[in-house]
Structure 1
Amino acid sequence: MTQHIVVIGAGYSGLAAALRAARRLPDARITLINPRAYFVERVRLHQLAAGQRLRRYPLTDILGTAGIELVVGSVRTIDTERREVTVDSLDTPVPYDTLVYALGSVADTSTPGVAEHAATVAGPAEAQALRDKVATMARQEGTLTVVGGGLTGIETAAEVAETYPGLEVRLVTDTEPGAGLSERGRAHLRRVFDRLGVEVRTDAKVVEVHSDAVELADGNTMTTDLVVWATGFGVPDLAARSGITVDSAGRIVVDDTLRSVSHPDVYAVGDSAAAHHPDGSPLRMACATALPLGRYAGDVIAARAHGRSPRPLRFRYFFQCLSLGRDDGVIQFVDAHDRPRERVLTGRLAARVKEAVVRGATFTARRSGLYPSR
């Protein structure tokens, strides 16, 4: 009987897994389910929010002759006993022998007022909506408040400030921006924010968002015309609702081959997987994590289909890439566990490296069947 592999989610990780499995298992039937008919360069969504046009990559072009069936729609339920998924665009469920769960992450909007009053850059629709709001507000020279000092908040604040110099951009965070960078990296970040005119407020924890202000834990408020919420990401609750074992953040708990600990016919990759180093320390949500995991999952599924025992996941990081507008950035070198080393690249060279990495990630995701996994 032909094995049917269903992959839900066509981001970096899901697309890589589908293409990899197609190469390793040419006789398998592979179905890729995604809400959109095109691949999204998620690491560029802050550019979209600042008004830049992004290239679209139709999934039919990417899948090409790989023999992968594309279903455009959103998965509503997973029946792990019947081994089938329901999709909002189909009248009948899609059965599977092996399921690859690659739904990625979503904005964490659990703080009061965020869902009602704040914008995010977690997805293309959200980034497009933010783009329109920023463009309108820029004509009135208003104030944009970005909440969150992680990479997403930093990149969004810098990109918008560079694109709209007449706009007052403020970054609010309860820690120092770029806390995961080395001192040299943080020093460069401060210089760039000074150059771009971004006001930085540290030790300021936002506990509620209103239509015209953010409320801080110390009782103070800051007025603003628009809030961009970038404090972190959560994951869809589909896995939890389906009875698959998840961690406290809702990510699927997997073994050292990315297989669900509760359902051996389910694999999880990307942001929705609670993947870890051999010592048990977690891998971070990032494109740098998602791509290798997707390719590895394709190899593991193929190995087991051929009756071989797959090798356990071995993973390491090399650097973090941070864009600060189109002509500046930080490349932070890190150790295997993503801890910063003192060495960094900054300025235009860093911007060029970041652009090369982003293009390379997209190319690799689209051509993952052609390359050996690392």
Structure 2
Amino acid sequence: MTTTNRTEHTLQVLVLGAGYAGLMAALRLAPHARVTLIDPSDRFTERVRLHELAAGRTDVTHPLSRFLRSTGVSHIAARATAIDPAAREVTTDDGRRLPYDRLVYALGSRTATAHAGERAHTPESAAALHKRLQDGPGSVAVVGGGLTGIELATELAESHPEWTVRLHSAGDIGESLSPRGRDHVRTVLGARGVRIEEGHRVVHADELDADAVVWAASMIPNSELAAAAGLTLDPSGRIAVDEALRSVSHPEVYVAGDAAAAGTRRAGTLRMACATAIPTGAHAAASVIAESRGREPRPLNFRFFAQCVSLGRHDGLVQPVHADDTPHARVLTGRPAALAKEQVVRSTVRFLSLVGRRSRRQAPPA
């Protein structure tokens, strides 16, 4: 009888997406709710390592079971195809209709590929890009002078010196960096033989004389499912949320990661990044828990600290930033920066594993 009563009053939470934000939210919620994680893959992908996968790294994924084991979180290997806020149900591509009391929307973002052409690749298709590079020497054009494009260009030039690499940017490369940081990036790209072409926006792959084109120019949120369900979006296409990361139109839906138009007074609007996905995933979980206990959730408290860029396997850049992500003048470069970036990347998986272990210790008896 005791078990039945506990089950009847357990909050049912669905989490859509098993990336940085969704996995964090599911693990944090596990001791406090009945959590179902919906994602078609049974593996967690280190998205921040996709440029390494393109260059030849064997694998950048980890089995979800490594994090979810004995936490009580159920994983459904399916894709969410519809949300019915009135019925509080999610439909999946295998025909299930899953009820929820609260929904955490953490479907992230993807690289914008409009007018990309048949030769084009994205960081998400890194494995296919690596296979293409193995077919033989040629020329590759990376489109996008932001941090993702910089990492891809340097990684590909270092790992595939037989290929000619160009980096195309509509503005200056590394615009988010300090002058000293941009100078270091230019020096490293030049040393790797990467040709930089700035001041021209590439619209279609056919504009470029290259055997392969890699698009890394901009990210767009995976918010189509939310829009179809009637959730309010902001002008950028991200889901409009309040300070607790609740949808402003459907407060039973919490949004974490790149799909959320989240912001704080100190940081401003949060950029799409692993650095913001994990904290917003944790905060969405904390807000659900607080609400379930009859308390008003606290506002998101976040500030930026640094931008970390890998420049191949032996060089890097750590750009300290102000709370609003604007750069300080000082930078860390070279091998120490490469080691620092690697530790930051490793720490994300370690932290998720740690949260999983804590959830296992706190999990209620079956």
Cα pair distance change 1:327/1:179, threshold 3 Å: same
TM-score (norm 1): 0.91
Letter in 2 for 1:229: W
- Equivalent position of 1:329 in the other structure: 316
Deviation at 1:297, TM superposition (A): 1.2
- Equivalent position of 1:56 in the other structure: 61
Deviation at 1:371, TM superposition (A): 7.2
Among 329, 345, 348, the alignment partner of 1:342 is: 329
Q: Which consecutive residues of structure 1, in runs of 5 or more, have no partner in the other structure?
A: 215-221
Root-mean-square deviation (Å): 1.5
> Is it true that 1:166 corresponds to 2:162 in the alignment?
yes
- Equivalent position of 1:65 in the other structure: 70
Letter in 2 for 1:163: S
SS of structure 1 residue aligned to 2:167: strand
Q: Is the 8 A contact 1:30 1:67 kept in 2?
A: yes
Q: Is the 8 A contact 2:67 2:356 kept in 1?
A: no
- In structure 2, what is the Cα distance between the partners aligned to 1:65 and 1:39? 17
Cα pair distance change 1:225/1:249, threshold 3 Å: same
**Which range moved further: 285-294 or 47-56?**
47-56
Letter in 2 for 1:341: H
- In structure 2, what is the Cα distance between the partners aligned to 1:253 and 1:370? 32
Q: Is the 8 A contact 1:21 1:369 kept in 2?
A: no
SS of structure 1 residue aligned to 2:254: strand
TM-score (norm 2): 0.93
- In structure 2, what is the Cα distance between the partners aligned to 1:263 and 1:40? 29
Deviation at 1:109, TM superposition (A): 1.4
Letter in 2 for 1:44: R
- Equivalent position of 2:93 in the other structure: 88
> Is it true that 1:16 corresponds to 2:2 in the alignment?
no
SS of structure 2 residue aligned to 1:302: helix
Q: Is the 8 A contact 1:46 1:159 kept in 2?
A: yes
- Equivalent position of 1:183 in the other structure: 179
Q: Is the 8 A contact 2:262 2:270 kept in 1?
A: yes
Q: Is the 8 A contact 1:7 1:33 kept in 2?
A: yes
Deviation at 1:248, TM superposition (A): 2.1
CA offsets, 1:217-269, max 9 Å, x none? xxxxx411111011111122111111111112221100000000000110000
SS of structure 1 residue aligned to 2:148: helix
- In structure 2, what is the Cα distance between the partners aligned to 1:297 and 1:177? 34
**Which range moved further: 274-283 or 184-193?**
274-283
- In structure 2, what is the Cα distance between the partners aligned to 1:279 and 1:339? 11
Alignment of 1:226-241 (within 5 A): 226-236=212-222, 237-241=224-228
Q: Is the 8 A contact 2:16 2:104 kept in 1?
A: yes
**Which range moved further: 276-285 or 66-75?**
276-285
- Equivalent position of 1:217 in the other structure: none
> Is it true that 1:288 corresponds to 2:253 in the alignment?
no
- In structure 1, what is the Cα distance between the partners aligned to 2:234 and 2:56? 37
- In structure 1, what is the Cα distance between the partners aligned to 2:356 and 2:237? 30
- In structure 2, what is the Cα distance between the partners aligned to 1:20 and 1:129? 34
Letter in 1 for 2:281: G
Alignment of 1:71-110 (within 5 A): 71-89=76-94, 91-110=95-114
CA offsets, 1:177-216, max 9 Å, x none? 1111001100100110111000000112112222xxx2xx
4+ runs of 1 displaced by more than 3 Å? 369-372
Q: Is the 8 A contact 1:148 1:172 kept in 2?
A: yes
Among 263, 268, 291, the alignment partner of 1:276 is: 263
Q: Is the 8 A contact 2:267 2:324 kept in 1?
A: no
Cα pair distance change 1:361/1:262, threshold 3 Å: same
Deviation at 1:366, TM superposition (A): 3.1
Cα pair distance change 1:280/1:319, threshold 3 Å: closer
Q: Is the 8 A contact 1:295 1:368 kept in 2?
A: no
- In structure 1, what is the Cα distance between the partners aligned to 2:171 and 2:46? 28
- Equivalent position of 2:6 in the other structure: none
Task: Report percent identity of matched pairs.
Answer: 48
- Equivalent position of 1:218 in the other structure: none
Deviation at 1:278, TM superposition (A): 2.5
Letter in 2 for 1:29: R
Letter in 2 for 1:107: T
- Equivalent position of 1:128 in the other structure: 127
Q: Is the 8 A contact 1:46 1:127 kept in 2?
A: yes
Say how many residue pairs are matched.
350
CA offsets, 1:48-79, max 9 Å, x none? 01111124311122101110000011111111
Q: Is the 8 A contact 2:67 2:352 kept in 1?
A: no
- In structure 2, what is the Cα distance between the partners aligned to 1:332 and 1:80? 42
